[in-house]
Amino acid sequence: MTTNERRVLVHPDKQALAASVAARFLTKAADIIAEHGSAHVVLTGGTIGIGSLAAVNESPSRDTVDWSKVHFWWGDERFVPKADGDRNELQARQALLDHIDVPAENIHAFAASDEVASLDEGVAAYTAELARHSPDGGQWPRFDITFLGVGPDGHIASLFPNLPGIRVTDVPVISVQNSPKPPPLRLSLTRPVINSSERVWLVLAGADKASALGLALAGASYFEVPAAGAKGRRRTAFFVDQDAAAEVPEDLIAESY
């Protein structure tokens, strides 16, 4: 697979998908740390995103990674209280982060609604946190792997079809006040930050994702199908189950990554 190619890796079911993503992540994280000394990873929520983190935790290879050298970020977050079960952060902690030896300062969560007074404060806080870990005075870190889920409507992070957020290019973080998927209030990275990542791994499962995946791979407008605009600097891979792959052209299905 050559640089910037987009390929689809198909798995027989959700369990095999999560296990495969976990295995690849552990291998790649160790390689990145060996090369750069640290790794910056952007996490996603959703059933299969959190399932993949749980599979990392269950892997016998889990502790081959020096987690003290991994920084975890999020592509988006629901603006709800810290202990709310809807938070991607809470789900990720329960699935993986609370079970590994990662320093608290390496976990970069979006502010919760009971930690800041407004969405705007949440935007400012995460913008500052990104800049704090950016090399050479940039706006955000060098991201090594960005995980993305894909909604049935083709949305990624909290960038939804035909809403203003997908068009924003001049700031790294936005607020979302009218998410078509509840809860309505959210914080999200913007497309330039997502696409600055060396590798973008889109992970999706289920027949309800097949149409969005097919449109994304067919070159649909990313304003209408945001997943079509997600592209890593080096690699863009779609990890999917058989049901989600129903509309994927044969020539895009990879035998290996």
- The predicted-structure confidence for 109-160, as pLDDT tens digits, reads as follows 999 999 999 999 999 999 999 999 998 889 999 999 999 999 999 999 999 9
pLDDT band at 254 (very low <50, low <70, confident <90, very high): confident
Q: Tell how far CA 240 is from the center of its chain.
A: 14
Per-residue confidence (pLDDT) for residue 250, from 0 to 100 = 80
Per-residue pLDDT, averaged over 203-223, amounts to 95
Say what the pLDDT of residue 257 is: 44
- Mean pLDDT computed over every residue of the chain: 95
Higher pLDDT, 1 or 71: 71
The fraction of the chain above a pLDDT of 90, given in percent, is: 91
8-64: pLDDT as tens digits: 999 999 999 999 999 999 999 999 999 999 999 999 999 999 999 999 999 999 999
The pLDDT value recorded for residue 2 is: 43
Question: Residues 177-185: what's their mean pLDDT?
Answer: 95
Q: Which residues contact 140 (CB under 8 A, 6 or more apart)?
A: 130, 131, 133, 134, 172, 193, 196
**Taking the CB of residue 4, how many other CB atoms lie within 10 A of it?**
11
Identify which of 226, 117, 228 has the alpha carbon closest to the alpha carbon of residue 166. 226
Inter-residue contact 158 to 176 (CB < 8 Å): yes
Domain residue extents for the chain: 14-233
Is pLDDT at 201 greater than 80 in this prediction? yes
pTM of this prediction exceeds 0.85: yes
Class of the 14-233 domain?
alpha beta
